[in-house]
Amino acid sequence: MSLAIPPLPGSSRINTSGRLEVAGCDVVELASEYGTPLFIYDEQEIRDRCRAYREAFASRTDDFEIIYASKAFSCTAMSQLIAQEGLSLDVASGGELYTALRAWFPPENIFLHGNANTEDELFRAVRSEVGHIVVDSLDELRTLDRIAGREGRRQPVLLRITPGIEAHTHDFVQTGKLDSKFGSCLEEGVAVSVVEAALESANLELTGFHVHIGSQIFSLEPYRKTISVMADFLAQCHSRFGFECRLLDLGGGLGVAYAPGDEPASPDQLAGVMVTGLQEEMERVALPVPRLAVEPGRSIVANACLTAYTVQTVKEIPGVRTYVAVDGGMSDNLRPMLYGAAYTALLAAKPEAEPTATAAIAGKHCESGDILVREAPLPDPRPGDVLVTPATGAYGYSMSSNYNGQLRPAVLFVKEGTARVVIRREDYEDLVHLHERLE
């Protein structure tokens, strides 16, 4: 029997033991073999989502590039998978760059982002010959020009523009509006003067522009508006400097389903809006259509993963609430606390049993706000049960911490009935290995 709960990976089934299975692996067995908390990614689902993006754009244009935003989930195995699927990679720090290079990710397909890159990060990117550096400010442009000159490299760059567009999403993940720490704004010639400086710089090659309006976006309208704003800007740069934009990166942000009833747009719909929008807008301003890039993170990985926990205690406060406390929490999923994000929960041993009560799923951290799910209908949860929260593949592990001395979980890729550890669970020695050694 297959499961009708939307946020689970497509391969999720109820097996003959009546338990939850993902990609042919029994989740209760995975939990007992690898321990909990445990991130379980359906590898084929990640690949299918990469392919869905590629096909969506390929069916409309042959000049495009899909860049996976590795901040959503990054590790060596993930970088390798992305290379195998023919996608490029967005890295947002020296650490993400290092991870990609350790997986032999082709540097020419890497885009380095960041609003406060250090000289060391820029140097490492230039030295490893990354395909593009997305320059966030005039200060960064000057530093990068100097570093590239020292390294004897003409570094291709995109300039990040803040298009002044409000996406309908949580304020913390809005990035394209005027009052933003990212990019150069269009007001009062700020962006134009960065373009001028880029064109004058001896060691940088300006290829085009980047915009990213936000994350977990459901309405595609803001993308269409962004394209229109950018077309005007490209026209301005063309008439002012004769500059022809060769690459326009429209960022990521496509929303995903976290709970039943969430209905995000598909990569195909996004591709439709972007490709058609860009063609129409470039026709309007009478300039050639640049290569189109898109930078999805969340929509590649969020729904390909679930987290398995073990229930530790069940506490009923008569007339108030039942708390089901698990062995993880805000250290492996900060999103409920940070954004009020809503998740669902189910018991892996009886995913479709009738709920007996509604419980709050509490984490194990010393904070009352450490609640993973506010209201989860569950069938008689007991200590020892394996509890699963679906759709945890994006910004879960990547925002994880050691708060309260909690060990970071293991991460599995599961495929065709077998599991492999792509990130091992931390042990207590990992917690102190950077500390002063006391004899």
Q: Under 8 Å CB-to-CB from 115, ≥6 apart: which residues?
A: 136, 137, 181, 182, 183
Coil, helix or strand for 306? strand
Two tokens, residue 141: 């442009």
Burial category of 170 from C-beta neighbours within 10 Å (exposed 0-12, middle 13-18, buried 19 and up): middle
Which lies closer to ligand LLP via its Cβ, residue 155 or residue 216?
Answer: 216
User: How many residues of this chain bind ligand LLP (CB under 6 A)?
Assistant: 22
- Between CA 414 and CA 77 the distance in angstroms is 12
173 binds ligand LLP (CB under 6 A): yes
- Pick the stretch among 16-24, 66-74, 323-331, 431-439 that binds ligand LLP (CB under 6 A): 66-74
Residues 297-326 vs ligand LLP: string with x where CB under 6 A? xxx---------------------------
Which lies closer to ligand LLP via its Cβ, residue 34 or residue 209?
Answer: 209
Other CB atoms within a 10 A radius of the CB of residue 260 amount to: 11
183 binds ligand LLP (CB under 6 A): no
> Rule CB under 6 A: which of 205-264 touch ligand LLP?
212, 215-216, 251-254
Contact 388, 14 (CB under 8 A): no
113 binds ligand LLP (CB under 6 A): yes
Residues marked as catalytic = 366
- Between CA 142 and CA 209 the distance in angstroms is 17
Which lies closer to ligand LLP via its Cβ, residue 131 or residue 251?
Answer: 251
Which lies closer to ligand LLP via its Cβ, residue 3 or residue 78?
Answer: 78
Two tokens, residue 381: 């949860």
Q: Under 8 Å CB-to-CB from 134, ≥6 apart: which residues?
A: 111, 112, 113, 114, 157, 158, 159, 160, 210, 249
Residues 68-97 vs ligand LLP: string with x where CB under 6 A? -x-xx-----------------x-------
- Taking the complex as a whole, the smallest distance from the CB of residue 273 to ligand LLP amounts, in Å, to 15
> In the complex, which residues of this chain contact ligand LLP (CB under 6 A)?
69, 71-72, 90, 113, 173, 212, 215-216, 251-254, 295-299, 335, 339, 394-395
